[in-house]
Every structure is written in structure tokens, then in C-alpha cells.
A and B are shown apart, each in its own frame.
Chain A
Amino acid sequence: MTPQPRSRPRLALLARRFAIVAAGAAIALTLYRVDPASARWLPICPLHELTGWHCPGCGSTRAAHALLHGDVMQAVSKNALVVCGAPIALALWTWNRRRTGHAWTTAVPQRWIWSVLLVMVAFALLRNVPFYPFSLLAPH
């Protein structure tokens, strides 16, 4: 359990916010300019390199690239779970933070949490089934 957030000096808080926004902008700009399908140096998935399987996160950099170019359908075809789940996760995180004052809590009923895990595992298994319609979930 982490202690309640201390009140930071205003300037430090501003600097931290600026750093977060700047880092986010830099990542977004990189992902906009560089096509992850051909760039070698962007983050790789160790699991995919070693086994050839698609993990539930595979395709998310390509999905982000497509989203930044406004191509929602392409993004969903690369990684449907991340594209649909990330906004929900972000909203839930903000809501929780406001409500509880704890940055990293997820004060939702236990059943929700198991459901999220179930969806993740199901997505991971289904997208590795190598024929239609499951192949739609794979980031090819």
C-alpha cells in the first residue's frame, strides 16, 4: 500500500505534467512517422520472436500507427482488444483515481476483474487459431 499522495510543490507538479505530455507527444509523433510493419527497431514482442504465437498485445504498435492516421478499421484489425480496451481502461483509471484518491487501485467488484482476465485469455487463445474467422483477430 502506498501512502496518500503528498502535496507537491506546484512547480514540480507542473514539470511532471509537462514531462508526461511531452513524452506522450514524442511517442505519438514517432508512431505517426514510423511504420511499425517495416521498422526493425521499434519494440518487439519477445514471446512472438521466440514462439511465433501472438500474445494479447501483439499488433498494438501497428494499431496505434493506424489510429494516428485515422484508420480505425485497420487499427481494430491489428489488435481489437487493445483498441477497444484502452479507452475503457483509461476512463476506469481516471474515475477510480478521482473517487478513491489512490492512483493504482481498481475498486471494482471482484467479478469484473475475473471477467477482464477471461476476456484477455480468450482473446489470446482465439487469435492464435490459424483459420477463418479467428484469423481476423490475428495482427496480419
Chain B
Amino acid sequence: MNCPNCGRQNPDNAVMCGACGASLTNPYRPPVLPGSPVYIDNFLMPAIFSAFCCCLPLGIVSIVYAAQVNGLLAGGDVAGATKAAQSAKTWFWIAFGLGIVVQLLWLLVVFGAGLAGIQAPGR
């Protein structure tokens, strides 16, 4: 690893930097032990739900992001996986929110037309 203080390359198991003596063990960021699984909420289930129930095109965007998370994670790219998961989550909420808005507008049209005594638009 590189020393966070002076940037010099040190052996991975070093506790102190060989050049400047700075501590290489960061108590606030414990290293991920090799073999211990890292789980990232990939939001695949909500993404699929939003594609089925709310808004197909935006839900698919969410699914595409969600589907990349496990692959990136398997390749060791935790930062990339976290970013993809975040995008999946964002697009899920956009798809879900838009879906809800459309349904509410539809309700408004149906009941508004009913109150006005007009036949609601056919399906």
C-alpha cells in the first residue's frame, strides 16, 4: 500500500511507513479481510418491481445498473459497484415516483370525469 502521509510504496502488511514513520493502520477504515464477503445492496429486486409495476423504460435503466453490481464486486471494484448500486437506487425511485404520479393522474381523470358525468376514456 501507499503511505497516506508521504505516498511511498510500503509492503501490504507494514504497520508504519518505512520512509516517514506515519501509521499505516487506519482505525477508521478497517481493511476488508480476504475471503470475507462484501455485500452491496444492488437494488435488483426493487428495480425489477419498478419495471413491472410502474414504468418499464426507466425501470429497465435501473435493472441495467443493478445487474452490473455483482459483476463489479466479483472483479474487486467495490467503488464501481457502489456507484452502480447508487444509480440503480436513484433510477428505481424515479421510475417508482413517475409510476405513482401517472396512476394518481389516471385516478384524477377517472373520478373527475365521473363527477362531471362524462364517460371516462375507454381502455
Which A residues form the contact surface with B (CB < 8 A)? Answer: 1-2, 40-41, 43-44, 46-47, 49, 55-57, 60, 82, 89, 92-93, 100-110, 113-114, 116-117, 120
Which B residues form the contact surface with A (CB < 8 A)? Answer: 37, 39-46, 48, 51-53, 55-57, 63, 66-67, 70-71, 74, 82, 85-86, 99, 102-103, 106-107, 110-111, 120, 123
A107 and B44 within 8 A (CB):
no
Interface centre among B55, B56, B57 (most CB of A within 10 A): B56
Q: Contacts A57-B51, A57-B52 given; indicate if A89 touches B45 (C-beta within 8 A).
A: yes
Interface centre among A41, A55, A93, A106 (most CB of B within 10 A): A106
Q: Contacts A100-B39, A105-B41, A110-B70 given; indicate if A46 touches B52 (C-beta within 8 A).
A: no
Judged by DSSP, the binding face of A is loop
- Please give me the 10 A-B residue pairs with the lowest Cβ-Cβ distance, nearest first: A57-B52, A104-B41, A106-B44, A110-B71, A100-B39, A41-B110, A102-B39, A55-B56, A105-B39, A113-B67
Question: What is the distance, in angstroms, from B26's C-beta to the closest C-beta of chain A?
Answer: 19
Roughly how many angstroms separate A56 CA and B55 CA in the complex, as a whole number? 11
A103 and B51 within 8 A (CB):
no
Roughly how many angstroms separate A38 CA and B40 CA in the complex, as a whole number? 43
Judged by DSSP, the binding face of B is helix
Q: Which A residues are CB-close (under 8 A) to B102? A: 44, 46
Roughly how many angstroms separate A101 CA and B37 CA in the complex, as a whole number? 12
Q: Which A residues are CB-close (under 8 A) to B57? A: 47
Q: Which residue of B lies closest to A108 (CB)?
A: B70
Q: Which residue of B lies closest to A110 (CB)?
A: B71
A sample of 27 inter-chain contacts (CB < 8 A) reads A1-B40, A1-B86, A40-B120, A41-B110, A43-B103, A44-B106, A44-B123, A46-B55, A46-B99, A47-B57, A49-B123, A57-B52, A57-B56, A60-B52, A93-B45, A102-B39, A102-B41, A104-B46, A105-B39, A105-B40, A106-B42, A106-B45, A106-B66, A107-B70, A110-B71, A113-B67, A116-B48
A82, A109, A113: the one contacting B52 at CB < 8 Å is: A82
Q: Which residue of B lies closest to A57 (CB)?
A: B52
